């Protein structure tokens, strides 16, 4: 199929649809939604006008939006359709509360738009990337204009080009759920430690995501001459909140001059974060040497938007 390089028809009414989780490029997300729609339920017999699965991933802080749609068959130039995919909020009548963010395209076009709807007739849009392979289409966009929405549903729709009143197929609304994030940071790290003396560090766990983390398990990596005492578990951290715990560390005379302290925090669905710092031991032969405890890599992981959601990518 040779898809036409034509700009997508922008549908401003917020009665529109969303995407399919396909093998797209990885993207971190604060909200994800997906769903399947029965094949053969479209008002038009052409398989290119029948949605079978949709999915959407959205990061409200960066304005990153990723999505995809799978149709029952490959669209063709003689049977195009206007495709719209949106994430918004539920009302008693469906997924139609503003603001909403999503995509608009023609199935036989190489182009797509990202769209933000803030009210009836209040639409802002820009160019989005679009890739396709047979019956599957994928879309991606990042824009400051797309930031700040907290969606709880996703919906997709195929309509007749130039006549939105003619609906070929609708998929959804499907639930969008927020995802937690987790970061870990060690503080109060001494510049140098004496053998046998216990020092208390602080570990701050923060959730900047949009759902609670669930109970968190803590683990310290072992090392020669290193003793670490810390809670085995930490209570769940709500979205936007943090918790701080004490980490008591001791270096014996058997420890190396420089010892790595690594703490890993693991939450539900494999979400994890870690921080690593260097501890320096003052030994009699060292003449009081030892530099400061320089910051180690402070790493966090976020959910990959494709299922299974337990797949993670670095922040």
Per-residue pLDDT reduced to its tens digit, 7-19: 333 333 333 333 3
Burial, 208: exposed, middle or buried (Cβ in 10 Å; 0-12, 13-18, 19+)?
middle
Tell me, what's the pLDDT at 19?
Answer: 33
Domains contained in the chain, number: 2
Nearest to 139 by CA among 22, 49, 308, 14: 22
pLDDT digit string, tens, across residues 138-157: 999 999 999 999 999 999 99
How many Cα atoms within 13 Å fall on the side-chain side of residue 197? Answer: 11
User: What is the pairing mode between strands 82-91 and 64-71?
Assistant: unpaired
292 and 260 within one domain: yes
The reply to whether 114 falls in a domain is yes
**Omega before 280 cis (within 30°)?**
no
State residue 18 phi and psi, 5-degree precision: -125, -140
Residue 106 pLDDT level (bands cut at 50, 70, 90): very high
90 and 166 within one domain: yes
pLDDT digit string, tens, across residues 41-92: 999 999 999 999 999 999 999 999 999 999 999 998 899 999 999 999 999 9
pLDDT at 305 over 50: no
| CATH classification of the domain holding 96 | 2.60.40
The reply to whether 26 falls in a domain is no
Last residue of a domain, one of 178, 195, 210: 178
The answer to whether the CB of 310 falls within 8 A of the CB of 23 is no
The reply to whether 20 falls in a domain is no
258 and 213 within one domain: yes
Last residue of a domain, one of 149, 178, 207: 178
Which structural domain range is residue 303 located in? 182-314
| CATH classification of the domain holding 295 | 2.60.40.10
Last residue of a domain, one of 130, 154, 178: 178
114 and 216 within one domain: no
pLDDT digit string, tens, across residues 17-40: 333 333 333 335 689 999 999 999
284 and 148 within one domain: no
The reply to whether 1 falls in a domain is no
The reply to whether 153 falls in a domain is yes
154 and 230 within one domain: no
**Greatest Cα pair distance in the chain:** 85
H or E segment at 90? Answer: strand 82-91
User: What is the pairing mode between strands 94-106 and 242-251?
Assistant: unpaired
Tell me, what's the pLDDT at 283?
Answer: 73
Q: Which residue has the higher pLDDT, 96 or 296?
A: 96
pLDDT digit string, tens, across residues 164-179: 899 999 999 999 999 9
The reply to whether 306 falls in a domain is yes
215 and 103 within one domain: no
pLDDT digit string, tens, across residues 190-220: 999 999 999 999 999 999 999 999 999 999 9
The answer to whether the CB of 149 falls within 8 A of the CB of 59 is no
Tell me, what's the pLDDT at 58?
Answer: 95
In DSSP notation, 167-235 reads EEEEEEEEEEEE---EEEEEE---S-EETT-EEEEEEEEE--SSS---SEEEEE---TTEEEE--SEE-
Record the tokens describing residue 214, joined without a space.
């669930």
160 and 41 within one domain: yes
The reply to whether 17 falls in a domain is no
């Amino acid at each position: 199929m040779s898809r036409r390089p034509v700009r997508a028809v922008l549908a401003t009414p917020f009665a529109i649809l969303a995407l399919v989780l396909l093998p797209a490029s990885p993207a971190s997300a604060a909200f994800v939604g997906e769903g399947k729609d029965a094949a053969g339920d479209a008002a038009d017999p052409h398989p290119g006008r029948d949605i079978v699965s949709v999915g959407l991933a959205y990061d409200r802080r960066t304005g990153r939006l990723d999505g995809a749609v799978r149709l029952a068959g490959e669209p063709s130039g003689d049977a195009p359709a206007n495709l719209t995919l949106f994430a918004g909020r539920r009302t008693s009548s469906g997924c139609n509360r503003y603001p909403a963010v999503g995509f608009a395209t023609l199935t036989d076009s190489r182009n797509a738009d990202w769209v933000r709807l803030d009210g009836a007739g209040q639409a802002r849009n820009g160019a989005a990337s679009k890739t396709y392979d047979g019956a599957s289409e994928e879309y991606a966009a990042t824009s400051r204009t797309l930031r700040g929405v907290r969606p709880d549903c996703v919906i997709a729709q195929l309509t007749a080009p130039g006549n939105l009143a003619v609906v070929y197929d609708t998929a959804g609304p499907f639930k969008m759920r927020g995802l937690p994030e987790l970061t870990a940071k060690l503080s109060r790290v001494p510049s140098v430690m004496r053998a046998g003396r216990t020092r208390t560090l602080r570990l701050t766990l923060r959730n900047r995501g949009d759902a609670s983390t669930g109970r968190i398990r803590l683990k310290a990596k072992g090392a020669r001459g290193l003793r670490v005492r810390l809670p085995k578990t930490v209570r769940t951290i709500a979205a936007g909140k943090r918790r701080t715990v004490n980490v008591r560390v001791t270096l014996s005379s058997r420890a190396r001059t420089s010892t790595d302290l690594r703490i890993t925090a693991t939450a539900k669905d494999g979400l994890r974060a870690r921080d690593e710092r260097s501890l320096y031991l003052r030994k009699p032969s060292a003449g009081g040497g030892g530099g400061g405890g320089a910051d180690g890599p402070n790493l966090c992981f976020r959910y990959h938007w494709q299922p299974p959601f337990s797949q993670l990518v670095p922040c």
